[in-house]
Amino acid sequence: MSNKPFAYPEGEKSAKFTSGRREAKIEVEQEKIEYYVRGERASKPEYWLAQAWDKLQESGEILNWVWQPSYITFENMPGEIRLDFMVNIPPKLPVFLDGRWIHKSAGQQSEDRVADARLNDRLRREGAMPVVRIPSEPYVMDEETALRTARMAIRGDQFI
């Protein structure tokens, strides 16, 4: 019987066997994957949605998109709001990708509505569409759902 270590494919898991015993001690190691969008760290759903925007740009369904642009709102009530994406269809479509837990509380949803109203007022002058908020679950669970969701967004579909 060989005491060679067993390796799972693609380095996702590894197993180490104890020497000279029939029992195996298995260590499972999760790979820590970091995601980047245009050189900046991103969440997995942000990465998937960015990939979807790239595909739509390549196919000519949108002109281009910008990652995390910032806007100053109201001259008499200063404040910066950073979008997740500004998609140029045209017209421009401001997009927030809402995380799993952060945007579910009543307090956070109230703050989101205020920020959306401020941003809509600012971007309306540039001819932009109203802000779209996409819940990452269930709309951006993988590359396929992200592409389907991106197409829904540019069609003007509503997300709940």
E strands, 12-91, are: 16-17, 24-25, 35-37, 40-42, 64-67, 70-72, 80-82, 85-88
Q: What is the pLDDT of residues 88-147, one digit of tens each?
A: 999 999 999 998 666 567 888 888 888 899 899 989 989 999 999 999 999 999 999 999
Domain ranges for the chain, please list them: 1-32, 35-155
Pick the CATH number of 35-155 from 3.40.1350.10, 3.30.70.270, 3.40.50.150, 3.40.50.300: 3.40.1350.10
**pTM for this prediction:** 0.76
Average confidence (pLDDT) over 20-46: 75
Q: What is the pLDDT of residues 61-101, one digit of tens each?
A: 999 999 999 998 765 556 788 999 999 999 999 999 998 66
Average confidence (pLDDT) over 13-29: 48
Q: Using CA atoms, how far apart are residues 4 and 157, in angstroms rounded to an integer? A: 56
